[in-house]
Amino acid sequence: MKASRLAATGALAGAAVLALSAPAFAHVSVQPEGTAAKGGYAVIDFKVPNERDDASTTRLEVTFPTDHPLASALPEPMAGWKIQVTKSKLAKPVEMHGEKINEAVSKITWTAEDKGVEPGYFQKFPVSVGALPEDTDELVFKALQTYSDNEVVRWIEVRQDGQEEPENPAPVLTLSAASGDGHGTATAEDASDKTTTTAADSSGDTGDGTDTTARVLGVVGIAVGALGVAYGVLAGRRRTDA
């Protein structure tokens, strides 16, 4: 009986934990495909789970940060979804590849042309972005999730330091440390240096092998010559004796 009571209590506690933690797992989030390094470019995915049992997600509206504008934001085409990219003038131009950019993407909206994200499923919405800022550790994207019954869930609350996660947290992209200039130049230079070093080592090995071979052949030649001289001397003596 005690074991049964303990098992029942444990099951109820587990269910309570799951119930409390469910909202944290179900919100709209953003993650990079690989890494999102400062100063570089990345493909990021907005992950949208369906939290309803009786409605589908038919619209996603993501607002891009204005404090750290992204000069380039290109959504990936998706079957069954209409994509609208909205650009806005920047208060301060951004320099990109030596050119000044006066506008940037301020919002991307995905609207379902079919069933959308049905109950029990999630959908990823990929976007290629860059160049990522170098003076911040994260980017906040506020999102609106609309269901087929016209309910709108606003994922716009920003988590404050030292506080628990809000009920409707905004998607946050964490940026990693910059590597090189963000385009892999440092890696390419490292690879070039390694190639040069390897070529030099190989050249040195070939030189040592050639030198060793020459020495061996020289010794063999001297030995053969000595044998020839000895044979000549012996032959001469035999003729004299005869």
Q: What are the pLDDT digits (tens) for 121-134?
A: 999 999 999 999 99
Q: Is the pLDDT of residue 74 over 90?
A: yes
pTM > 0.85: yes or no:
no
Q: Is the pLDDT of residue 208 over 90?
A: no
The CA distance from 216 to 220, in Å, is: 6
Q: Which of these, 110, 106, 111, lies nearest to 46 by C-alpha position?
A: 110
Q: Which of these, 3, 32, 129, 115, lies nearest to 72 by C-alpha position?
A: 129
Other C-beta atoms within 10 Å of 140: how many?
19
Structure tokens at 217: 């052949």
pLDDT of 164 reads: 83
Cβ–Cβ < 8 Å for 38, 176: yes
